[in-house]
Structure 1
Amino acid sequence: MRVKFCGTASLADMRCATDAGCDALGFIMGVTHQSSDFITPTEAAKMIRHLPPFIEPVAVTHLQETEDLITLVRDSHCTTLQIQNTIKPSEMDVIRDALPYVTILKAVHVTDESAIKMGKHYEPYADALILDTRTAEKLGGTGIPHDWDISAAIVANSAVPVILAGGLTPENVSEAIRKVRPYGVDVHTGVKKNGVRNPERARAFAREARNALPDPGSRG
């Protein structure tokens, strides 16, 4: 089970996540809605210089204009782009042509069953989908779970990997994984304590996520 920690805003945040054994780190940049832990592309680039090998840096953004998205990735030195806002699918091809080395994740907000159709809308253009929760004010980082039955339906019928986000915590991530069966999970506020990314909660989240399903190589 792949694990991404989002909202990395300091070297301490980064060390906390890498010590927990994360596979990817999200850097929130270019926000247009309420968000916490957002930074500039320059700040992200400085942190990424200290990122250990084999951990993916992800540019998480609300921006929608193609050129803005391309510039954000280049300036931040991220190798994955997570688009949280709406965008024409054809524009994702433009980004891919400009940045052939970049993996593109497209967020699908699971508000109701229309998310199933939205996932199919973006699926041919994205390398993976990320299922998140939104409110009128926030495009992510809400701390609110959504309907995992809908998420499970998207996963079951998706031709690309699907990452589950939205209100995940060390306490509920195992149940979420068993129900949804995603490729990976993404956490932000769920590993905080007193408003700060917490080492104990980060380790617990990664441990619970990786132990949620049986090891495919095990016998029994």
Structure 2
Amino acid sequence: MKVQIYEIRSKEDAINVIESGADHIGVPYAKNPQYPGHLTCEEAKKVFEIVPSDVLKIGLTISEDVDEIIENLSIVKPDVLHLSGDIEAIAPEQIKTIKRHCNDLKIMQAIPVYSGIPLENQKALNYAKEYESVSDYFLIDTKSMSEEVIGATGKVHDWNIDKAIIESTNVPCIIAGGLSSENVAEAIRISNPYGVDSFTSTNYDSPKDEKRIKDPSKVKAFVRAAQNA
């Protein structure tokens, strides 16, 4: 079971998360960051430079500008580009363009799932089918109705929807959305994913430094719970 931890904002948090046993570390970045916690491209690059080769470097962007995405990738150099903006803003053909410009880059496409809405009234399965030919991973995450971006809500959704998506595709799926050390084993039991992701539940309740937000005890508990599920 792969364990992915977001949002890494500093070298210190990266070291903490790696030492806690995470397989993937996620860093959100932008040319001109507009969201709290998103780093500049140069800051993200410095974090990734200390990550060992056996830990996957996931770079998250919400940009919808393909040229800007390619330019930023040349600076940050993640192993995997996590597309987490409006899914309909970047078509599969545009993702092919990104991959052509960036040798060996893998794509993690976020698949949005809404809480409290049945599968038949969501587009998640359609998105998975549409994007599977250009995706190396799917990140199935809760989406807020009020935001264009996918994820960072801290809210769970129906894990049976995750199960349906996972069973519909050969793309490795990582599940996210309000997962914690208390509920991750049940989410894994229901959906049988490739991996699990945590952001909000592994943060300090009241971080003293907004660049160092990951609580080592919570990260270790999450990793342990996922690996023992």
| TM score, norm. by length of structure 1 | 0.91
Q: Which amino acid aligns with 1:103?
A: K
Find the aligned partners of 1:49 and 1:148 in 2 and give their Cα distance.
35
Tell me the residue number matched to 1:122.
Answer: 131
The number of residue pairs the alignment matches comes to 212
Q: Which residue of 1 aligns with 2:152?
A: 141
Does the alignment pair 1:74 with 2:74? yes
Letter paired with 2:77: H
Work out whether 1:15 is the aligned partner of 2:32.
no
Task: Give the match for residue 108 of structure 1.
Answer: 111
Q: Which residue of 2 aligns with 1:206?
A: 223
Query: Conserved in 1, the CA contact under 8 Å of 2:110 and 2:150?
Result: no
- Separation in 2, partners of 1:201, 1:8: 14
Residue matched to 2:95: 92
Please tell me whether residue 131 in structure 1 is matched to residue 148 in structure 2: no
Aligned to 1:69, the other structure's residue is in SS state helix
Q: Deviations over 1:151-187 (max 9, x none)?
A: 1000011121111011111111111111111101111
- Give distance in 2, aligned partners of 1:79 and 1:183: 17
Taking structure 1 as reference, are residues 121 and 32 closer, same or farther at Cα in structure 2, changes over 3 Å only?
farther
Q: Which amino acid aligns with 1:162?
A: C
For the 8 Å contact 1:32–1:62, the answer to whether it is kept is: no
Picking from 198, 201, 214, the partner of 1:197 is 214
TM-score (norm 2): 0.88
Per-residue CA distance 1:173-202 (angstroms, 9 max, x = gap) = 111111111101111111012242100110
Rounded Cα–Cα distance in structure 2 between residues aligned with 1:205 and 1:158: 26
Asked whether the equivalents of residues 6 and 188 of structure 1 are also in contact (C-alpha less than 8 Å), the reply is: yes
Shift of 1:35: 4.2
CA distance in 2 between partners of 1:65 and 1:89 (Å) = 14
Q: Which residue of 1 aligns with 2:198?
A: 187
Which residues of structure 1 form unaligned runs of 5+? 213-220
Percent sequence identity over matched residues? 31
2-side partners of 1:66 and 1:51: how far apart?
Answer: 26
Q: Secondary structure at the match of 1:123?
A: helix
